[in-house]
Amino acid sequence: MKRKILVLAVLQLFMVLGSCSSDSENNNAPEKTDELQKGEVKADFIASYSADDFVINNDDTAFFVGQTNDKDYFIKFQKIDKSVNLTLLKGITNINFLSSRLAVTPTGDFLIIAYNDPVDGEKIFRFENNYTEMNLFYTLKPISSPFASKIKLTAITGNNDNTYFVFDQANRQIKRFLPELNSDVFVAGSGKNEIVDGTGLDAGLGSVSKIISHNNVLYFIDNLYTENTLTSSNLRKLEYVNNQWKVSTLLSTTVITDSFRDIVFNSNNDFLVLKGEGIYKLNLLDNTLSLFKNGEIKVVAFNKNSSSRMTVDFGSVKSFKIKNNDLYLSTTTNFIKISDFPTKFAAAEK
């Protein structure tokens, strides 16, 4: 009888130990990360990096520049390819290149201007030698007027014809740079801090933060500051009409929380505007806005052994781009790509 009780006790002990071992294995098992939760949108990547500016090349590689916490560099010029490989191309130690702006040449090279540079503000630099060097590409000619200030470039865009448009914040003028002639020419701007439509010298400009080119028409965001206070935000266009460059205002707002932050054209030729709490589509026939996307989205990027999850509020997005059906978002803390975003947004809303 005693032997029987002893055998039963041993069996019970083995069962308890087996149960504990099983629980321990389950607790330490890797969590499944490759499944979307309800309402989530799958991102190609979520990079913990805030891009001051970025461009997408023909093979869907994203090139971006921005501030870092790296002890060796204030700013980094990097790329993320479609396989989510991050590569440092050029580290920049000059702090004046904070908030710098990029443009792409027809040959796939990248130009950069130093938004905050009081010394080299009139210069355009180019990344060379497989992007590992940043060399002087062009210096804008000084303005001959005795009242002119030192040139300070704050915006640049290519025009798909190997010419580039730049904005000189110090003199409130738009100029055109022609590399083949190694020269630049005046386009528009009275030199006064004002929002006034007109041609050439009669057009008043404030502070142009963004310029894009579409079908040989330039569209730009022009903010008016009075004593360092933003008083109006304006969407404007620049087009060549009757042998003159004409500036026209498309839309304005004095509601500062609704100011314009970025503009793009998508593959459907829709003119999209980032402002306030979301992205809107601007009808260029009557200059009216309709909602494209606002509110919040939950995004997740699956890595090899883990996943990254975050909520993106479109009111906090700094800039964006759309190529085909791929959406790129830059926030104050992250750089995100969502491929085939219309399908993924629709699925998350079900």
For residue 191, the domain's CATH number is 2.120.10.80
- Residue 265 CA to residue 201 CA, distance in Å, equals 28
Q: Is residue 9 part of a domain?
A: no
Q: What is the pLDDT of residues 201-235, one digit of tens each?
A: 999 999 999 999 999 999 999 999 999 999 999 99
Q: How long a stretch of residues is the chain?
A: 350
Side-chain-side CA neighbours of 252 within 13 Å: the count stands at: 13
Residue 118 lies in a domain: yes
- pLDDT tens for each residue of 17-27: 344 443 333 34
Residue 166: inside a domain: yes
Residue 1 has pLDDT above 70, yes or no: no
Q: Which residue matches tokens 């971006």? A: 64
What letter would DSSP give residue 193?
Answer: B
| Distances, alpha carbon 279 to alpha carbons 67, 213, 297, in Å | 25, 19, 13
Range of the domain at 219: 50-294
Please state whether 159 falls in left (phi above 0), alpha (psi between -120 and 50) or beta: alpha
Q: Which helix (H) or strand (E) holds 161?
A: none
Average pLDDT, whole number, for the chain? Answer: 88
Q: Residue 8 above 70 pLDDT? A: no
What pLDDT is attached to residue 305?
A: 61
Flag whether 338 is in a domain. Answer: no
Q: Is 154 a member of any domain?
A: yes
H or E element in which residue 250 lies: strand 244-253
The predicted model gives 161-169 an average pLDDT of 96
Contact by Cβ (8 Å): 176, 167: no
What total of structural domains would you count in the chain? 1
For the whole prediction, is pTM greater than 0.85?
A: yes
Q: Is residue 304 part of a domain?
A: no
Model pLDDT, residue 147? 79
> In whole angstroms, what is the distance from residue 219 CA to residue 255 CA?
21
Residue at 30 is within a domain: no
Identify the weakest region by mean pLDDT among 40-44, 182-186, 301-305: 301-305
Confidence of residue 5 (pLDDT cuts 50, 70, 90): very low
Predicted pLDDT of residue 11: 40
For residue 204, the 8-state DSSP code is B
pLDDT, tens only, 47-86: 888 899 999 988 889 999 998 778 889 899 999 987 888 8
Let me know if residue 315 belongs to a domain: no
Per-position DSSP letters for 118-131, written without gaps between them: SSSTTEEEEEETTT
The pLDDT of residue 315 is above 60:
yes
